[in-house]
Structure 1
Amino acid sequence: MKNKKYLKYVLLSLTISIGMSSCSDFLDEVNYSSQSADKYYQTKSGYESLIVGCYSNLKNIYNNTNFQIFTQQGTDVFTQNYPTEITPMNQYTTTYQSSNGTVYSMWSSYYNALKNVNAAIDRSENVILRTDDPDGMEPNTLAQRVAEAKALRAWYLLEIIRNWGKAPLEIHEAKEPSYTVEYADGAAFYKQIFEDLEAAIAVLPYRQTGSNYGRMSKAAAKHIRALAYLTRGYEDYADSKDFENAFKDAEDVYLNSGHKLLDDYAMVHRQSNEMNDEIVFAIGFADAANYNTNIWNQWFMMPYSIGGWLGLGKDSYYGNASAHVKAIPAKYAYLMYDWQKDRRPSVTYMSPLNGDKNTSVDGKDAGKNWFQCTTPVDGVFAKGDKIIYFPVPTDPEYKVWSASDKDKVRYKVFNFPAGDASDMSDDDYYKYAYQTTNSTSRTFLPIWKFKDGNTEFKEDESGSGTRDIYLFRLAETCLIAAEAAVMNNDNDNAIKYINYVASRAAKNAPVAGLTGYSGTVTLDDILDERAKELLGEGSRWNDLQRTRKLAERVLKYNWDVSNIHGGTIKTTLTEESFKNKFILRPIPLQWLNSLSNGSELGNNPGW
């Protein structure tokens, strides 16, 4: 573990100074690449440190609770933990405005990342080449580093344009602050994205292995390009071949990259197997000081330690749970699986599989479908006793507990959701006030596939995880191919690629017989399969936005959107408001106010 990633130990102080700049006042912060050290960045070691800084920005963006809110709230498979609160980005209320802090944070993070990659690309022209100078770089190495930076830049640009629709197109290192900017439209952004990816694909190796694992590769760049073609394909300015090209790139990665779908979904998420053939690109963490900061392991876990549960104290057995969980699974996220015939729910959630250290994702037994006593209470609970029990369909003792059944045991029982996936009113998971000191927090079966065997409880909730974050994996590449085929009226390939994922889900399931796809594959089929395969990974919000299915599916499955404070407050989300407003994020008001021409630039429609 300690030497698994090339970027984990190189010039830590430079990584911090270059890659972890403040998100505030970003127009003023022009010295992200330490311009006073021009000479240093011309050397091999200096330029390599600049590239490491580019990669460190990935952690700033994706290992951040703002990313969880930005990508999961307000969707069909995630909702909010606190039903008594107004949660603007989940419920689309009038309180969701252009001054939203999460939107501003994400905007700033992407542009801070762009500053670093732009500096790396622009400064490459002055790097000393290796002749007789020991400080020089080999030309081939330099070309690869520039290609990596261009692939990263293309990804950041895609993130910006798919969320905001228009924005400043920053492709050069800022030498001085500027308070007057111009928007570029989607067509200009995609032109730059495809230019950067074409340049990267021409240079990068198909896979990065050994000490280079964790760097951008040709497979990762083609995955990005497939998603970019797919996303642009839905726009008014799309090219007629966008869906065809998206399919070609995704299929090429599947057939020729050397990446493979693993036979067992459990092995994809097994911490001891995280460097596996399915992972196209990952953000690396390690167990050395300053690098064990992954916080994903606490995002989708019930806040057990602050809930007032007798016998459940703060303990490293469960590690940290976010005290203010931002997104929890909606009812549909539990019911969309056939738990007996699909391997994925047992891997994804607390379950008997995750309660056995020989099969669990984290190599521990803490993921069983009940919380055990960590703080003994004399005469009530001994250490290890059940405190909270979640019967799940794969539990040999599974049943629906009646009120009288529950009264016979000391521990609390929360029945598995049942009935209409759009109605959460009577389900145990979505009630609250079970706890004595945290009566507004819901109790729910946690997502476990991101849990980390190396975590410890920290009072300040700082990260202690060492697991990699999977940014792209081949299962998603297959689903990109399937979606592109659907949109290109190529049903044969849509069936083939969606079934690559669905057929893997059937392997090692408790019961055989999971039905694959046949007939005509639809966008809803794609979205269902993406939800089951990639729950909590990537951006669910962008999946629904891209396919224009957000309002339809959110209003159908996210009960908290349609039942704000018992229906006394109305959501502003409708099919019409989605098309005219919520299809894009608001341009952050804080950023506009920092410009001399902010009022002239204006905001996105509806904001």
Structure 2
Amino acid sequence: MKKIKYIATALFLGLFLSSCDDYLEEDVRSNVTGDEFYTTEEGFESLVNANYAQLKEIYGNEPWLFAAGTDMYAEGRDAEPPGLSQYTQLAPNSEGVAQLYNTCYKAIQAANTAIYYSDITENTSQLNARIGEIKFLRAHAYFLLVQTYGGVGLVNEYFVDPRLKFDRNSAEEVYSYIITEMEEALEMVEDATYGGRVNRRTIQHYLAKVFLTRAYEDFGLASDFETAAGYADAAIGGEALTLSFAELWFPDNSIKPGTIFSVQYSEGALATDPYKLGHMQTAYFGPYQGGNEFSGKAPYRTYTLCPTQYAIDLFSEDDNRWDVTFMQEVYDRYFDYFENDDTSGLPVAHYYAAAWEDTQEFQDAYMETHPNAVYHPYGSYVPSINPNNDYQTIPVKKFDDPSAQFGQSTSTRDIILARLAETYLIAAEAYLQAGETTTGLQRLNEVRQRAGVSDASLAEFDIDYILDERGRELLGEYHRWFDLKRTGKLVERASMYHYLIEESNFNGANGALKILRPIPQEVLDLNQNNEFPQNPAYQ
């Protein structure tokens, strides 16, 4: 593909250079110049590590662009950015709109830097694999960009000086570039099943997702669904889902079977600044329960991105994901759940009744044995019902980190980006859309069998059923907005299940719908190319 010598914006280059220096100063302990250092094995490894570190900036902060404004999460007591969560105020200068644009282009320039030095650095036995890892990380950033904003500027060269004029490539060109880069990287990286680095399985999973996503576009190829299914099956590699859902989400930082790719953190790194160097995932998806003023009694949560009634209703009594996903019974000291093998005698502060417990008889019996608990009947603990009081929505516990109990950015649990159960669901969707419904149903039922629920039938197997299953399996895992956008279900499902969204909220300029996010205003202001187009709904 032709190299395009435009950088997204001078701002992004400046951000990258300052951020990259922050990461690399820890490793550079001599007075050698950058050129001298990065041409050594140690120096080049530091550039590779800086590329992985960019994932923390992409995923470690506010998750609005991944989760807000969907069918599964809505604001409770505290407000989410209104443009991203409700669409009526969505504009190029809206809060949060630029987050992925900024962080992804920083990641792209980090990759461009490393690719540049890979040509002149010391040759080692691992160099080819490292180049493959970097090419994947760059393509991964473009995949986030093209899903969110549509076509963007392709930048694949390292620049020292800022470039203030850039063009916009079409979404079709960006997808072609992503596929080319990932397929090249697939032949370069290590053939590992699990681990901390990008490997063949990582790339196979993402190639499946890229082809699946492109298949829904008007420029997608007729073979894309079939290709996506093939890559998904290659990533599965015949492995069954043997690790239970509870074991998968037990709070520790080990890389567990089924985890294909994650953003990795360590308690050691966090020790230097425990309130800034972690991530925010554990701070969302639940009510405010207290913070450090409660001396460890409960975790801090933002009271935003709270599960909607639709999200609650996805689960049945026999689904073992319910107990793992939600903290249904909250003890007087929240973290006693994780720190005591026997919790039967602990005082209960709150109880959130499930749909199958929606009887007065059950409530009376529970309160008789837990007289000091606050009982939340089924249907009463979603953000649309009395959202102004603490504890009035059910907490999501799957991301809890008992080792980091306070603040928004203190968790050192890895953020899981890709795991085997999702690969099965990608395969299920790809086979369904390719017309091979029996095979697709088999892939989906592998996930349901691990959850302990009955198999889905061929009669009910459609795209809505897949989205429901993805909701049960992947709640809170930063996929939902992309899932709804990919399948063309964003307007329908967000307006149906989100209490603050109506279908008309999506109406934009020129008769276009606000599906793609707008190109950030700061990008347009810095660009000296006056022909650079905004997305139609925001013109």
TM-score surpassing 0.5? yes
- Distance (whole Å) between structure 2 residues aligned to residue 539 and residue 580 of structure 1: 24
**Residue 602 of structure 1 aligns to which amino acid in structure 2?**
P
SS in structure 2 of the partner of residue 559 of structure 1: coil
Contact conserved, 1:498 with 1:517, CA < 8 A, in 2?
no
- Distance (whole Å) between structure 1 residues aligned to residue 532 and residue 341 of structure 2: 52
- Distance (whole Å) between structure 1 residues aligned to residue 337 and residue 132 of structure 2: 35
Distance apart, 1:85 and its partner CA? 8.0
Query: For the structure 1 residues 571 and 316, does the alpha-carbon distance in structure 2 shift closer, same or farther, using more than 3 Å as the test?
Result: farther
Distance apart, 1:389 and its partner CA? 3.2
Could you say which residue in structure 2 is the equivalent of 1:242?
A: 224
- Distance (whole Å) between structure 1 residues aligned to residue 313 and residue 265 of structure 2: 33
Query: For the structure 1 residues 396 and 542, does the alpha-carbon distance in structure 2 shift closer, same or farther, using more than 3 Å as the test?
Result: closer
Could you say which residue in structure 2 is the equivalent of 1:188?
A: 173
Query: For the structure 1 residues 276 and 579, does the alpha-carbon distance in structure 2 shift closer, same or farther, using more than 3 Å as the test?
Result: farther
Could you say which residue in structure 2 is the equivalent of 1:422?
A: none
**Residue 413 of structure 1 aligns to which amino acid in structure 2?**
Y
Deviates more, 1:441-450 or 1:171-180: 441-450
Alignment deviations for residues 349-392 of structure 1 (CA, whole Å, 9 cap, x no partner): 0035x9799xx9983359989xx9xxxxxxxxxxx754433233
- Distance (whole Å) between structure 2 residues aligned to residue 225 and residue 368 of structure 1: 44
Instruction: Kindly indicate whether residue 450 of structure 2 is the aligned counterpart of residue 504 of structure 1.
Output: yes
Distance apart, 1:97 and its partner CA? 0.9
Query: For the structure 1 residues 164 and 289, does the alpha-carbon distance in structure 2 shift closer, same or farther, using more than 3 Å as the test?
Result: closer
- Distance (whole Å) between structure 2 residues aligned to residue 85 and residue 119 of structure 1: 35
**Residue 414 of structure 1 aligns to which amino acid in structure 2?**
H
Contact conserved, 2:265 with 2:414, CA < 8 A, in 1?
yes
Could you say which residue in structure 1 is the equivalent of 2:475?
A: 535
**2:309 is matched with which residue: 331, 335, 338?**
331
When the two structures are superposed, what TM-score results if normalisation uses the length of structure 1?
A: 0.77
Query: For the structure 1 residues 273 and 25, does the alpha-carbon distance in structure 2 shift closer, same or farther, using more than 3 Å as the test?
Result: closer
The equivalences for 1:350-361 within 5 A come to 350-351=327-328
When the two structures are superposed, what TM-score results if normalisation uses the length of structure 2?
A: 0.86
Distance apart, 1:87 and its partner CA? 2.3
**1:91 is matched with which residue: 80, 86, 97?**
86
Query: For the structure 1 residues 487 and 302, does the alpha-carbon distance in structure 2 shift closer, same or farther, using more than 3 Å as the test?
Result: same
Instruction: Kindly indicate whether residue 418 of structure 2 is the aligned counterpart of residue 472 of structure 1.
Output: yes
Distance apart, 1:400 and its partner CA? 6.5
Could you say which residue in structure 2 is the equivalent of 1:561?
A: 501
**2:505 is matched with which residue: 569, 572, 578?**
572
Alignment deviations for residues 551-606 of structure 1 (CA, whole Å, 9 cap, x no partner): 111111112214xxxxxxx95236x9999232211000111111222x42120011
Could you say which residue in structure 1 is the equivalent of 2:459?
A: 519
Distance apart, 1:126 and its partner CA? 0.4
SS in structure 1 of the partner of residue 235 of structure 2: helix
* Pairwise CA RMSD: 3.4
State the aligned residue count. Answer: 510
Instruction: Kindly indicate whether residue 121 of structure 2 is the aligned counterpart of residue 110 of structure 1.
Output: no
Query: For the structure 1 residues 158 and 454, does the alpha-carbon distance in structure 2 shift closer, same or farther, using more than 3 Å as the test?
Result: same
Could you say which residue in structure 1 is the equivalent of 2:537?
A: 606
Could you say which residue in structure 1 is the equivalent of 2:353?
A: 391
Unaligned segments of structure 2, at least 5 residues: 1-8, 25-32
- Distance (whole Å) between structure 2 residues aligned to residue 297 and residue 578 of structure 1: 40
- Distance (whole Å) between structure 2 residues aligned to residue 159 and residue 454 of structure 1: 31
Contact conserved, 1:271 with 1:361, CA < 8 A, in 2?
no
**1:59 is matched with which residue: 56, 60, 76?**
56
Could you say which residue in structure 2 is the equivalent of 1:38?
A: 35
- Distance (whole Å) between structure 2 residues aligned to residue 525 and residue 240 of structure 1: 23
- Distance (whole Å) between structure 2 residues aligned to residue 236 and residue 480 of structure 1: 20
Alignment deviations for residues 88-116 of structure 1 (CA, whole Å, 9 cap, x no partner): 222221x2111113111221011011110
Could you say which residue in structure 2 is the equivalent of 1:485?
A: 431
Distance apart, 1:412 and its partner CA? 3.3
Alignment deviations for residues 463-492 of structure 1 (CA, whole Å, 9 cap, x no partner): 322211111001111111111111111111
Could you say which residue in structure 2 is the equivalent of 1:74?
A: 69
Distance apart, 1:401 and its partner CA? 5.0
Could you say which residue in structure 1 is the equivalent of 2:399?
A: 450
**Residue 519 of structure 1 aligns to which amino acid in structure 2?**
A
Distance apart, 1:81 and its partner CA? 1.5
Query: For the structure 1 residues 269 and 81, does the alpha-carbon distance in structure 2 shift closer, same or farther, using more than 3 Å as the test?
Result: same
- Distance (whole Å) between structure 2 residues aligned to residue 76 and residue 298 of structure 1: 20
Instruction: Kindly indicate whether residue 146 of structure 2 is the aligned counterpart of residue 161 of structure 1.
Output: yes
Could you say which residue in structure 1 is the equivalent of 2:121?
A: 127
Contact conserved, 1:350 with 1:367, CA < 8 A, in 2?
no
**Residue 81 of structure 1 aligns to which amino acid in structure 2?**
G
SS in structure 2 of the partner of residue 606 of structure 1: helix
**Residue 268 of structure 2 aligns to which amino acid in structure 1?**
A
Query: For the structure 1 residues 223 and 515, does the alpha-carbon distance in structure 2 shift closer, same or farther, using more than 3 Å as the test?
Result: closer
The equivalences for 1:169-180 within 5 A come to 169-180=154-165
Could you say which residue in structure 2 is the equivalent of 1:432?
A: 386
Distance apart, 1:294 and its partner CA? 3.1
Contact conserved, 1:99 with 1:589, CA < 8 A, in 2?
yes
Alignment deviations for residues 535-564 of structure 1 (CA, whole Å, 9 cap, x no partner): 0113201100000011111111112214xx
- Distance (whole Å) between structure 1 residues aligned to residue 131 and residue 40 of structure 2: 14
Contact conserved, 2:215 with 2:225, CA < 8 A, in 1?
yes
Contact conserved, 1:168 with 1:184, CA < 8 A, in 2?
yes
Alignment deviations for residues 250-294 of structure 1 (CA, whole Å, 9 cap, x no partner): 0111125xx542342111111247421100011111221436613
Alignment deviations for residues 453-512 of structure 1 (CA, whole Å, 9 cap, x no partner): 21133xxx2532221111100111111111111111111111111111111111xxxxxx
Alignment deviations for residues 151-208 of structure 1 (CA, whole Å, 9 cap, x no partner): 1111111111111111111111122111110001112112211121112111222326
Q: Aligned residues: percent identity?
A: 26
Query: For the structure 1 residues 30 and 106, does the alpha-carbon distance in structure 2 shift closer, same or farther, using more than 3 Å as the test?
Result: closer
- Distance (whole Å) between structure 2 residues aligned to residue 124 and residue 28 of structure 1: 22
Could you say which residue in structure 1 is the equivalent of 2:211?
A: 229
Query: For the structure 1 residues 557 and 53, does the alpha-carbon distance in structure 2 shift closer, same or farther, using more than 3 Å as the test?
Result: same
Contact conserved, 1:154 with 1:197, CA < 8 A, in 2?
yes
- Distance (whole Å) between structure 2 residues aligned to residue 389 and residue 337 of structure 1: 17
Instruction: Kindly indicate whether residue 534 of structure 2 is the aligned counterpart of residue 594 of structure 1.
Output: no
Contact conserved, 2:325 with 2:397, CA < 8 A, in 1?
yes
**Residue 108 of structure 1 aligns to which amino acid in structure 2?**
N
SS in structure 1 of the partner of residue 47 of structure 2: helix
Distance apart, 1:215 and its partner CA? 0.6
Alignment deviations for residues 44-91 of structure 1 (CA, whole Å, 9 cap, x no partner): 1100000000000111111111xx211111111111113888822222
- Distance (whole Å) between structure 1 residues aligned to residue 353 and residue 120 of structure 2: 63
**Residue 364 of structure 1 aligns to which amino acid in structure 2?**
E
